[in-house]
Amino acid sequence: MAGRVAVVLVASALAAALVGCSDVPETIDGTRTGTAPAPNVVTTSIPAVPLVKTPVPTPTATAMTLGIPAIGVAGVRVVAYNGTADDRAGTMIQDRRMAASPRGPRGGVGAGQLGNFIITGHRTAHGAPFGRLPDLQNGEHILITSGRLVYDYVVVETMTISFRKPADLARQNAAVPGRPGEVPTRAMITLSTCATPEDHAKGNYWHDALGNPEHRIDKIGVLTRTRPV
């Protein structure tokens, strides 16, 4: 009997370990901090893009980098954390000249996974990795390198959201960007950055407690293929 109990205990410990290390995001402090205002956005329909034909392996907690050839972005580190876009933990990551990727119930999924892979980055400060993000056009590529794979997303839409409208961030964070409540059928990506220059040009200097201006510019893409590094 003692032998059977030992086997059960070992099996339980193994199961717990496996759960603990499946798609565990890299974190700054391991906690969800800050809150983001709710959301509300005007979007256009997302053009049809071929689904990925090859199986997409489940991403792991390996380091990720971002490349956007059309606007000269290369090798920007992407750090995942538990939380929501542009909360305090995400802002801390961005202030270290990196891009932040929120995960969990109020965040998104990982690279290559079904749903919305959200990445935020600074546009006018701390290295400005997303300085030229508004120039990104439909049909251009967003490349995420994780482990031994490159995930190739193609831009299909631009969405502008307001931090002061409860529905907007919900649309940004939705599993299908811009469509809260819709069940995702493909892997998508949202790159988000501030619209500070545009807001200031219109005399809008509102910002939240973390310095986020009212509006954000989001570039939405769909995964078209994966390839080895």
- Specify the pLDDT at position 105: 85
The fraction of the chain above a pLDDT of 70, given in percent, is 73
Q: Report, as an integer, the average pLDDT of 57-65.
A: 62
Strands 115-120 and 187-194: parallel
**Residue 156 backbone dihedrals phi, psi, to 5 degrees:** -125, -10
Rounded to an integer, what distance in angstroms lies between the CA atom of residue 96 and that of residue 74?
16
In the structure, how many helices (H) and strands (E) does the chain have? 4, 8
Tell me which of 77 and 52 has the higher pLDDT.
Answer: 77
pLDDT of residue 166: 85
Averaged pLDDT for residues 50-61: 43
Side chain identity at 170, as an amino acid letter?
A: A
Q: Is the pLDDT of residue 143 over 70?
A: yes
Q: How far apart are CA 128 and CA 103, in angstroms?
A: 23
User: Region 94-117: what's the mean pLDDT?
Assistant: 95
Handedness of CA 13, 19, 25, 28 (dihedral sign): negative
Residue 42 has pLDDT above 60, yes or no: no
Residue 50 is predicted with a pLDDT of 52
Determine which of 26-30, 104-108, 171-175, 196-200 has the lowest per-residue pLDDT on average. Answer: 26-30
Per-residue confidence (pLDDT) for residue 128, from 0 to 100: 97
Between 105-109, 184-188, 223-227, the lowest mean confidence (pLDDT) is in 105-109
Question: Domains of the chain (ranges plus CATH)?
Answer: 23-228 (2.40.260.10)
Neighbours of 158 (CB within 10 A): 16
Query: What's the rounded Cα separation, in Å, for the pair 115 and 67?
Result: 20
Model pTM? 0.74
- Looking at residue 61, its pLDDT comes to 52
| Joined tokens for residue 11 | 């099996």
Mean pLDDT value of segment 166-192? 95
pLDDT top residue among 76 and 16: 76
pLDDT over 90 at 101, yes or no:
yes
Instruction: Report whether 192 contacts 85 (CB < 8 A).
Output: yes
CA 198/CA 157 separation, integer angstroms: 19
Q: Is the pLDDT of residue 43 over 90?
A: no
Average pLDDT, the chain: 81
- Phi, psi (degrees; rounded to nearest 5) at 217: -110, 125
